Homo-oligomer: A and B are copies of this chain.
Amino acid sequence: MDTRDYLNRKKDIVDKALDTLLPGEDEYPQTLHRAMRYSVFAGGKRIRPVLTMAAAEAVDGNGDDVIEVACAMELIHTYSLIHDDLPAMDDDEMRRGIPTCHKAFGEAPAILAGDALLTYAFELALKGSRKGEEGPAIRAVGEIARAAGSMGMVGGQIVDIESEGKAVDLAMLEFIHTHKTGALIRASVRSGAIIAGSDGEMLDSITRYGEAIGLAFQITDDILDVEGERDLIGKNTRGDEVRGKATYPAVLGLGESKRRAREWMDIAISALEGFDGKAEPLRCIARYVVERRW
């Protein structure tokens, strides 16, 4: 199958759904809704929502049935970027080639836009539950909250900030990344599979897949920050180095980092051994995650 074509098709579905589901720019209070939309439509790859849909399909469900939860994952991701970019955090002025939310709208609207996106993500994810089948939705959304919170993404973010400029070993680096990026990617595939009715061994395999591509994704991000092309990535490269950020190339070197990214990709694909052709998109995404150039 053509990975780029699959990704583009799903990205289109996600973009259209986000546009329909988010409050309009003319809805009061407009500044807030404009700031929310500005960041959501700032050119993300939509990898998390696509994973949610692909995971639902891999366990014989329907991708469109999990669209609300899929969009919720993208909103949580977007809120985390807005808050990470704030002056008190990473202090980034550009992302994906355009000014960050607080540069475009001011700091208070950016904080509030992040807050509102996170909140709306939960409203949206719960909206996606079908009447009579609320059990899996509650389980999935509970897991998403856990993945996004102090034991997950936010936990990884604070350790990342606290370790800036300090010597970081591989154990600490893996903690940061399995939490800051990994937890949400894991929850993206798990929530899709859970809502599609998956459980037991099949769900375990999906989980191992999610954990492995989470690491492959983050290692590749770190590599692209060192050797990626500025125009493709839309922000200054080598930003991690300048900031004294904990990265795989800094700890392991570039060659070993690339080897590990491929190793995790292989682990992700192996996790899906028992799955049929419906899991092909997940396999292709695992390859794409490591081979992408931005």
Contact = CB atoms under 8 A, between A and B. Distances in A.
B141 A126 contact: yes
Contact of A155 (B29, B86, B134): B29
Given A119-B150, A126-B138, 9 more contacts: A23-B151, A83-B111, A88-B106, A89-B108, A116-B149, A118-B119, A122-B141, A134-B137, A134-B138
Task: State the number of copies, please.
Answer: 2
Contacts of A148: 119
A158 B32 contact: yes
B111 A89 contact: yes
B115 A88 contact: no
Interface residues of A, number: 50
7 contacts: A83-B115, A109-B158, A112-B158, A119-B149, A119-B150, A119-B154, A120-B149
A134 B158 CA distance: 33
A131 interface: yes
Contacts of A120: 145, 149-150
A207 interface: no
B123 A111 contact: no
A235 interface: no
A107 B119 contact: no
A190 B128 CA distance: 21
Contacts of A79: 115
Interface in A116-158: 116, 118-120, 122-123, 126-127, 129, 131, 134-135, 137-138, 141-142, 145-146, 148-151, 154-155, 157-158
A129 B127 CA distance: 16
A208 interface: no
A203 to B, nearest CB: 19
B108 A127 contact: no
Contact of A29 (B112, B123, B142, B150): B150
A32 B150 contact: yes
A161 B108 contact: yes
Contact of A111 (B111, B135, B138): B111
A88 B116 contact: no
Contacts of A145: 119-120, 122-123, 126
Contacts of A161: 108, 112
Contacts of A23: 150-151
A76 to B, nearest CB: 9
Given A112-B154, A131-B135, A162 B119 contact: no
A107 B115 CA distance: 16
Contacts of A118: 115, 118-119
Contacts of A159: 29
